[in-house]
Amino acid sequence: MIFALVALVVLALLAAVHRYVWRRLVGDTTAPGSTLRRVGTVAAFVLPLLSVGAMTSGRIGAPFWLQQVLAWPGFLWLAALMYLTLALLVGEFVRPVLRRVLARRDAAAADRTTAVLSSEAVATTTSGTRPRTEELVPAGPAPSTTSADPVPETAPPAEPEPEPSAPDPVAATAPATADAPATDAPATPLARPSRRLFVSRVVGGAAAAAGLATVGYGTANVLSGPTVKRVTVPLAKLPRAAHGFRIAVVSDIHIGPILGRAHTRRIVDTINSTSPDLVAVVGDLVDGSVADLGSAAEPLAGLRAPHGSFFVTGNHEYFSGAEQWVNHVRELGLIPLENARVEMGGFDLAGVNDIAGETEGQGPDFARALGDRDRARAAVLLAHQPVVIHDAVRHGVDLQLSGHTHGGQLWPGNYLAELANPTVAGLERYGDTQLFVSRGAGAWGPPVRVGAPADITVVELASRQA
């Protein structure tokens, strides 16, 4: 019941946002019945349907090819909708300012025109030319003033005006000649758009350009692959022999309908280029089943690290068949740590299942992973979600390596991520335990990252005895 209510609220919100975007970008800027109005209206119905299809096709078991067809336009539209809405909301503040500026400009232009007309009238009045108002007398001999009997003057009969003849069709259509030059008819001035229409087009166009450019920039960030970051973490219990031990931390690869085998190969090549001592894959490896994505994950077999590559589950593994994926990554040469621990030279490396596994009875078990260890040794914990940091503190963990947050992925999503996670990205301390959160190497949903670039982090452990 609660899920259905939330779904209805989300659908209503999406409908309202689409209506607002359509009105500002289409309804306010195009003429009724125009081609642009029709195209914009069709897009306002088709694009959200593609987005719903992209989000649900995998969950309902649609063929993988259909998931791929829907994923690109559907998820990209979600990102575009977000940034178009933000840009249009900013435009609501620009709109009245621009109208006021235009009104002042038009008023100033009208004042200048009035001043010019007034000056011309004054110049005409003071130029010395007066209109002739006296009666005109027809030319002719002046009447004699010496005649004794003056004869009264009578006006000659008026000649009848000639009747207008019908226009000559040949003359009417004949081209003008030198003897009868043609006169150009005055051109009809183009209608200027109203001030409101002009402002709507300027603000809407600027918002569309800003929103779509942002999405394009964020998509390029994802497709270009993650960058390498390096962080040094001092551990009080780390022996001098383990000083400088390097762990390549990668999370949230999100192999799926959009990011496939080439994405995995790019990440593996980047990790290997850092020459790490150990690789830690801390969850959310995939968005789909082994049957659909097993081949896309195969490049993981090429990871190279002298102390091995380790894997813990994330919440998305439990949407995709966690048990099958654990078995598959084991076949690829990775070592799954399912609430388990291994002893490395100088520290303990532990891993716990993601809390999403609790629905399947496979949640995190800190007692099993850390309960019987020697606390005189340093402990490094792999856990997908940062929220388990307080359990790590209670079990004496020195360093927890996590992902899950994507660093917010889409600004201003980082502010929402801060509400749900103790740390969104980077290194922070909680008591005697340090928590490092990776922004991840892939993207979930829209293949777009804005303000949260993808990364692979080389964590170098430092001994305070060195």
Q: 1-29: per-residue pLDDT in tens?
A: 787 888 789 889 999 999 999 999 999 99
Do 426 and 437 meet the contact criterion of CB atoms below 8 Å apart? Answer: yes
What was the pLDDT predicted at 127? 63
Instruction: Give me the helix-helix angle, 290-297 and 261-273, nearest 10°.
Output: 40
Do 74 and 52 meet the contact criterion of CB atoms below 8 Å apart? Answer: yes
What was the pLDDT predicted at 143? 43
Residues shown for the chain: 466
What was the pLDDT predicted at 326? 97
Residue type, 177: T
DSSP-derived letter for residue 32 is T
- Sorted by sequence, the CB contacts under 8 Å of residue 342 that are 6+ apart come out as 310, 335, 348, 349, 350
What was the pLDDT predicted at 194? 83
Ranges in the chain, pLDDT < 70: 126-192
3-state secondary structure labels for all residues of 225-284: CCEEEEEEEEECCCCHHHCCCEEEEECCCCECCCCCHHHHHHHHHHHHHCCCCEEEEECC
Q: For residue range 427-454, list pLDDT tens digits in order.
A: 999 999 999 999 999 999 999 999 999 9
Rounded to whole angstroms, the Cα distance separating 281 from 402 reads: 9
Query: Cβ atoms within 10 A of the Cβ of 160, count?
Result: 6
Query: Cβ atoms within 10 A of the Cβ of 154, count?
Result: 6
Distance from chain centroid for Cα 96: 25
**Dihedral of the alpha carbons of 167, 173, 177, 181, in degrees to the nearest 10:** 60
* CA nearest neighbour of 363 among 422, 312, 430, 328: 312
